[in-house]
Amino acid sequence: MSFEKIIGQDAAIKAIKNMIAQDQVRGTYLFLGPDGVGKRTTAISLAKAVNCESTDCNCTSCKKIDSGNHPDVFLISPEGASYSIKISRIREIIYEASLKPYEARKRAFIINDAETMTEEAQNAFLKLLEEPPKNHILILTSSNMAGILPTVISRCKMLKFNKLAQSMIQEFLRSRNFDEGQAILYSHMAMGSIGRAIELKEMDIISRRDEIINNFFFRKSAIFRENVLRGSMEDDVEEELHILLYWYRDLLVYGFTNTEEELLNIDRHNEISSYAGRFSKKKLQRDITSILKTIELVRANVNPKSALFNMAVELKRG
Ligand SMILES: [Zn+2]
């Protein structure tokens, strides 16, 4: 079985293996937990396991699923500018589920980020979630249960996925040929998510962070500071605000703990420890609120220029 490569989710994997061993895999599942901790990989592994023709997942069925070419395994993700799963997509699933599987023992639908289903889509889905045909399984994954209707949740068997320990992520990154410095740094910045660690590396986050922190945090002029963030691609503003958020978060965390252990920007701990004491915790909390508010505004497509300027002014206050 291919569950071995999923790390840090022993309870969920054990429950799944038991269900497989007892031939109890049926109905609808909700895999709930933070982003990037293995929910989707586990869902795919489950679809493979219930259809595997061998013991080592080296069969035609597993290979088709791995390459995304299995006619009975569907991966559904949010799409479009609204980043949502619409009712039309759910209707396609309902239609597909009314047919017999083409070749699988169990046809599988994996709905990623299920909280992005529109309310309409969720309501249309209820009947199928309640009782999928015997040879079908449905797996919803989500990091945000608040976005899912209670009527949907009550129809699912829930499996919880955990945030991963920093040491686990560090170990994983080492096994993926990250050099030692990167493995330490990214595992701290990843906040419990392997997916996030890999994403950070792909974004070359360190040089961007250094540019933002050096030009924003260490400068005095609010106008200049606003330009640091505004000068970049529009899509990136949110990411850059998060970089700034993590920096202020570290200052506050250090203010409370006086240790480096919990820092995300672990490679710049010297500056964090020296600057943390220069600001009151109250100011840092206010700054963090201000950054979070700005992220919300940018997300809501409010003119980023004025939102960023206001934030830059607020962060400058003593
Ligand atoms: Zn197989």
d(CA 49, ligand 1 centre) in Å: 7
* pLDDT digits 0-9 by tens, 217-239: 887 665 555 566 655 555 578 88
Token reading at 232 = 């970049």
Select from 275, 282, 306, 280 the least CA-distant residue to 293.
306
Distance in angstroms (rounded) separating the CA atoms of residues 20 and 12: 12
* pLDDT digits 0-9 by tens, 85-143: 999 999 999 999 999 999 999 999 999 999 999 999 999 999 999 999 999 999 999 99
Give residue 318's pLDDT band: very low, low, confident or very high (50, 70, 90): low
Q: Which CATH architecture has domain 2-160?
A: 3-Layer(aba) Sandwich (3.40)
d(CA 102, ligand 1 centre) in Å: 17
d(CA 82, ligand 1 centre) in Å: 36
Cα dihedral 103, 105, 107, 110, rounded to 10, equals -120
Which helix H or strand E contains 88, and what residues bound it?
A: helix 87-97
d(CA 4, ligand 1 centre) in Å: 14
pLDDT, the chain, mean:
90
Cα dihedral 191, 111, 202, 189, rounded to 10, equals 0
d(CA 100, ligand 1 centre) in Å: 21
d(CA 27, ligand 1 centre) in Å: 21
Q: Above 60 in pLDDT, residue 43?
A: yes
CA angle 52, 9, 170 (to 5 degrees): 115
d(CA 97, ligand 1 centre) in Å: 23
Select from 205, 169, 188, 209 the least CA-distant residue to 262.
188
d(CA 110, ligand 1 centre) in Å: 18
pLDDT at 230: 57
Q: State the DSSP code for 214.
A: I
d(CA 2, ligand 1 centre) in Å: 9
pTM of the predicted protein model? 0.78
Q: What is the mean pLDDT of residues 27-44?
A: 96
Which residues in the chain are classed under CATH 1.20.272? 203-316
Which residues in the chain are classed under CATH 3.40.50.300? 2-160
d(CA 57, ligand 1 centre) in Å: 3
CATH pick for 203-316 out of 1.10.3470, 1.20.272, 3.40.50, 1.10.10: 1.20.272
d(CA 3, ligand 1 centre) in Å: 12
Q: What is the mean pLDDT of residues 195-214?
A: 87
d(CA 238, ligand 1 centre) in Å: 41
Least reliable range by pLDDT among 183-192, 220-229, 241-250: 220-229
Distance in angstroms (rounded) separating the CA atoms of residues 103 and 51: 9
